[in-house]
Amino acid sequence: MSSNYTLSIKSNYKNVCIPVRALDTGHAQAQAQDIMRALAADELKLLYGTHKKSDLSTLFEKLAFNTYNHNCCDLWLGTAVNNYPCVYLFSKRFYIKDIILKYLDIPKDRLTAKCKCKNKSCINPYHFEYHTTRNSKLTCGDTKLLLAYRSQGTGVNQIAEALNVHRSTIYRKLKNERLSSGSANHSRS
């Protein structure tokens, strides 16, 4: 059985209340910390009782109880900018995918999430592919596979065909990997 709480979070002297459904007080407190991190809030208060549900509270509930399905898109029905789901809080715009990454504690400064389903309105975390840059054609898994192929002596054309990208993408990625590993070696010396 679950209980209803209200999370009152504050940032830049502005307050927002978000309803939270949790299994117990410990679960509610853990959710409150995750939500606070996701929304970059300064302080929080967790209160008993309910508050009016919103698209954002529904998102946090789905994340907390992991009610997403691998096979189906979960479309954002709230505000969108250029078809990218977002929400406005504390006089700022927050993109929903960024909120999800922060809630799940995935370092956004190193990874960008793109949907495999190619639907900009989809917010299902199971549909996310993680790329190292916004315009990257290769996922992090693809990059590891590329490096494994290359270490075995596989040719660039074969790797490009296997990963379904142009060979120039492979050359560029290999060059960037060499540069980043070279700078890592310099910083150690």
With a CB cutoff of 8 Å and minimum separation 6, the contacts of 4 are 19, 20, 21, 48, 49, 50
User: Rounded to two decimals, what is the model's pTM?
Assistant: 0.72
Long-range contacts of 116-121 (CB under 8 A, 24+ apart): 117/73, 119/73, 119/75, 120/80, 120/82, 120/83, 120/84, 120/85, 121/73, 121/75, 121/76, 121/80, 121/83, 121/85
**15-49 tens-digit pLDDT:** 999 999 999 999 999 999 999 999 999 999 999 88
The answer regarding whether domain 140-188 maps to CATH 1.10.10 reads yes
Average pLDDT, the chain: 86
**40-70 tens-digit pLDDT:** 999 999 998 887 889 999 999 999 999 999 9
State mean pLDDT over 115-141.
Answer: 83
State mean pLDDT over 66-81.
Answer: 92
Annotated domain spans of the chain = 3-131, 140-188
Distance, in Å, from the CA atom of 122 to the CA atom of 115, rounded to the nearest integer, reads 7
